[in-house]
Amino acid sequence: MMRAHRGRRAAPRAEVRRIRLLRIRALLVGGLVLGTGATSTLASWNDGEYATGSFTAARFGIEGKLPTETDYGKHTGSNAAVLGFTPAVTGLYPGVTGYAAFSVRATSGSIAGSVRLTAGTPTGTLTELRYGVRTVGSASACNASGYSGGTSVIPDNSTLDTSAAVAQTLAADRTPVYYCFAISLPVGASNGMQSQSRAQSWQFVATSG
């Protein structure tokens, strides 16, 4: 009786094992399908775009010219341009004003910028000497008539150590800026100024942009 009972229970167990095997096989097949799908997703097309650039810095510089010079050039601190005043300022007396021109422009290939006139420290004992600077239309216009119609850079009757408060524009097309200096010994200068002398230097400080 016990053997018969065990035989009847064995059949369901075998069926359960068979069903389990079928389920495992189904899961394995599903896993393979899923795996195949994942592999297909990774095997996508590829493409790209690229960009590059080349960079060069701009150049900036200025050069100057006296009316007596044939062309523009570089004037350094040790080789400064010597202003030629008319009338000459080697024999000044009260009420006389001498005029001198100096032109500044951008160098070839330079970008635009600005230039400001700055005064150094004068030396000598002709301390009552005064000056002013204006921009004029050309170097040849640096005289009493042209100066009176110019644009003020340094106010008249300034001491020689006075620098310009504003800068002038330097065009990239090398259009010059014409400066006209006016140096004078004012009316009423003291007798103590007789036979005295004074030296002065200026720098044209340029800035790009």
Q: What is the pLDDT of residues 80-127, one digit of tens each?
A: 999 999 999 999 999 999 999 999 999 999 999 999 999 999 999 999
pLDDT at residue 36 above 50? no
Tell me if 122 is assigned to some domain.
Answer: yes
pLDDT at residue 26 above 90? no
Tell me if 146 is assigned to some domain.
Answer: yes
For 138-184, the pLDDT digits (tens) are 999 999 999 999 999 999 999 999 999 999 999 999 999 999 999 99
* Residue 163 belongs to domain spanning: 62-208
Tell me if 143 is assigned to some domain.
Answer: yes
Tell me if 91 is assigned to some domain.
Answer: yes
Number of domains in the chain: 1
Find how far residue 86's CA is from the centre of its chain. Answer: 37
Q: Enter the pTM of the model.
A: 0.77
pLDDT, averaged across the chain? 88
Tell me if 93 is assigned to some domain.
Answer: yes
